[in-house]
Amino acid sequence: MVDCEPCWLAACLACLIRSLNSFVKVEPLLPEDDRTVQYSLRSMLIFYFMLAGLDRVNLHIAAREAELLENQYQGSIRQASCSQIQDEMNTRSEIGNQVDKVDKVIEVLLKAGMTSDALRDAHMHGVVLRHSGVVQLAIPLIVLGPFVIESF
């Protein structure tokens, strides 16, 4: 099976538009508003599915990046090696005696998708970090979007 994210997104949008166009007309939510609410809901749904598709692609990319980072990683940089001896010597001299600290940074990077002081502190206190570095936009923008638009 070929993994084609743009094709998946286009197919979802086509199905969504087709199903939205065949909606049964419902009573307007507001007396003076006949099609505006319906068009607004359609637009929001289309926008949501587009953002959800982008979120899915971003999550897929983050998972692939983590997979590449974990490739042949044995849990510590003590077992790591470089293809160039000079690179390995430079890296090891830069790390010095901070191997454990670097290992913890890599562990947080692999779990969260990014690393920062706050994420490392949270990890030390037992917070689950899975995909916390991956931004997902669909739900926050759909929920908060109308409030932002209304404020203008």
Calpha distance 30→45 (Å, rounded): 20
Q: What is the pLDDT of residues 10-55, one digit of tens each?
A: 666 666 566 655 554 545 455 555 567 667 777 778 888 888 888 8
Domain boundaries defined on the chain: 5-96+136-151
Confidence of residue 86 (pLDDT cuts 50, 70, 90): very high
Q: Which range is least confidently modeled, 19-23, 110-114, 142-146?
A: 19-23
Of 151, 152, 109, the C-alpha closest to 129 is 109
Residue 62, both tokens:
């983050």
Highest mean pLDDT among 2-11, 80-89, 142-151: 80-89
Q: What is the pTM of this model?
A: 0.56
The length of the chain is: 152
- Within 13 A of 131's CA, how many CA atoms are on the CB side? 11
